[in-house]
Amino acid sequence: MKRRTYLQIGAGIVVIGLLAWAVSRGLERLAGLQPESGAAETGTTAAAASVPRITATLYYGSADGQSLVPVRREVPLAEGLVPQGREIVGAQLQEAPSPFVSVIPEGTTLRAFYVTDRGDAFVDLSPEASSRHPGGSSTELLTVYAIVNAVTANLPTIQRVQILIDGREADTLAGHVDLRRPLQQDLSLVREP
């Protein structure tokens, strides 16, 4: 009888331990998927200048709006793949330098950035990416591949990128480019300046 009681207690402890581990892993995953709060608060100019930076290739629309142009820009250096991905996408979502044009709809922010065990990146954008998109197949291609190319060009371990809208899978941004699966880099839209 005592042996059976000890076995039940032991099994209960194992089950509780497994549940605690599962909850812990779930919380870790959720913590990595938390939406970004938008732009980081800016400190003093001196503090911003002391932040280590890297040079990244970002993609903007050409002056005629017909292609993407690679532009080398400095972005903050972050420790780790996911934080660096957030910095790169955040920089891509900012206003384009002159004479280039932004292909990202105004008001679009990064909600979350995460990478799967297979090395696919997920870029979760705010609803403005879709609701404020001007439409048109070529414009939509430029928007999608500005993001996909920026991530894959600067983070070599990532081969594919899937864009989410407001935390959910989206069929398209504006009715043309299929976003239901991760996309590989496509440099056919890129023209050197």
Residue 112 lies in a domain: yes
The answer to pTM > 0.85 is: no
Residue 168: Cβ within 10 Å count: 8
Q: If pLDDT is split at 50, 70 and 90, which confidence band does 30 have?
A: very low
Residue 42 lies in a domain: no
Residue 84 lies in a domain: yes
CA 145 and chain centroid, separation: 13
Residue 70 lies in a domain: yes
Q: If pLDDT is split at 50, 70 and 90, which confidence band does 36 have?
A: very low
Quick one: which of 129, 144, 140, 128 has its CA closest to 182? Answer: 144
Kindly tell me if the per-residue pLDDT of 155 is higher than 70: yes
Residue 69 lies in a domain: yes
Token reading at 62:
């050409």
- Give the domain extent around 142: 48-188
* Number of domains comprising the chain: 1
DSSP 190: B
**More confident site: 121 or 33:** 121
Residue 87 lies in a domain: yes
Residue 110 lies in a domain: yes
Residue 74 lies in a domain: yes
